[in-house]
Structure 1
Amino acid sequence: MRSLQQFLSDYGDSHQNPLNQWIHIVCVPAILISTLGLLWLVPLGSWLGLSGAAAEWLNGATVLGVLSGILYLRLSFWVFLLMVGWFAVSVWAIQSVQSAGWSLFWTSLIVWVVAWAVQVYGHKVEGKKPSFVEDLVFLLIGPIFVSIEFAAKLGLPVPHAQGAGGNTPAQNH
């Protein structure tokens, strides 16, 4: 498996245009949260005969969270912690949509479609295909990259997230 630095460097190769970077900073979290929202609706716990909170919390989103957590932990502990944070924000957003009485399905689907459409536009501006076309693992790398990219754009230090040449992804652009 590639190292975190290799993944970030490879991902950064197709995300050098500043407009495309900002599109990704907005759309990758939207895609992450809306994807988890859609997967939240896959009732694995109910299908397994569980009831109550166990049935509610054993769903497609939590299973994906655990499985992707294994990859994130293999990359580094700080990446794992970062993505636990993203998962927590996503669950909060999902619970908020449901508490507001909105349809989680339609809200997630609309956000998902719009965010992907804008991402496609960003890659048209970039002139390069999305990284996941070559390797689907990049779908899991995107949130890490944009977290680092956004922190770097804000001038925040990003320890342990050095890309090619010892620079953060934002500095590589």
Structure 2
Amino acid sequence: MHAQADSRATPIHRWFDKYAEDHRNPTNQTIHVFAVPAILWTIVALLWCIPSPGTWFRPGFWAALTMFAAWMFYYRSSRSLGFGMLAVFVVMAWFTRWLHNAYGTQALLIAAIVVFVVAWVAQFVGHKIEGRKPSFLTDITFLLIGPAWVVAKLYNKLGWKY
């Protein structure tokens, strides 16, 4: 009979363990809790600004396609986190669509660029405080892990399993 596998042996837990090595400082963690979702939104917003092909697709096509691909990664890593990330993507898409409809592509683009720069500056300040380089510099996959790590922190606060 096999011993029960440690939950830390799942791929998502291994990713989180590696990510946590570069995010031990409480100040850096707090910065990440705000900056990572902000950066994720900017990616959605920037992709929203790319013109859609043909007449069948609406603004946001590229953002939706990218969110779906990212969601597949999250869902395959953890169904529970996948649903959490789906909720994040839906909220971000609704918000971005509202901004786009209310203010237009140019304003959305400018807002996304400003938030992107500010959030990345915050990230690098956090890592300066931490004294460690950002995880994505060792593996680009950590750009996908960061948002899930933030959702996992919320799950932990709520006592939910992932």
Identify the TM-score tier after normalising by the shorter chain: 0.7 to 0.9
Structure 1: how far apart are the matches of 2:34 and 2:151?
10
The alpha carbon displacement at 1:151 in A equals: 4.5
Question: Residue 97 of structure 1 corresponds to which residue in structure 2?
Answer: 99
Structure 2: how far apart are the matches of 1:72 and 1:146?
13
Pairing 1:15-164 to 2, within 5 Å after superposition = 15-43=23-51, 45-46=52-53, 49=54, 51=55, 54-56=56-58, 59-101=61-103, 103-152=107-156, 155-160=157-162
Q: Size of the alignment, in residue pairs?
A: 151
> Aligned in 2, Cα 1:58/1:118: closer, same or farther, shift over 3 Å?
closer
1:72–1:80 CA contact under 8 A, matched in 2? yes
Gaps of 5+ in 1: 161-173
Structure 1: how far apart are the matches of 2:26 and 2:126?
10
The alpha carbon displacement at 1:99 in A equals: 3.4
Structure 1: how far apart are the matches of 2:42 and 2:77?
24
Residues 65-93 of structure 1: per-residue CA shift (max 9 Å, x gap): 12112211220211211111111111122
| Seq. identity, % | 34
- Secondary structure of 2:73 counterpart: helix
> Aligned in 2, Cα 1:145/1:134: closer, same or farther, shift over 3 Å?
same
The alpha carbon displacement at 1:58 in A equals: 5.9
Question: Residue 167 of structure 1 corresponds to which residue in structure 2?
Answer: none
- Secondary structure of 2:158 counterpart: coil
1:25–1:150 CA contact under 8 A, matched in 2? no
Query: TM-score normalised to the size of structure 2?
Result: 0.86
Structure 1: how far apart are the matches of 2:124 and 2:60?
32
Query: TM-score normalised to the size of structure 1?
Result: 0.81
* Aligned alpha-carbon RMSD (Å): 1.7
Structure 2: how far apart are the matches of 1:57 and 1:75?
29
Structure 2: how far apart are the matches of 1:8 and 1:72?
13
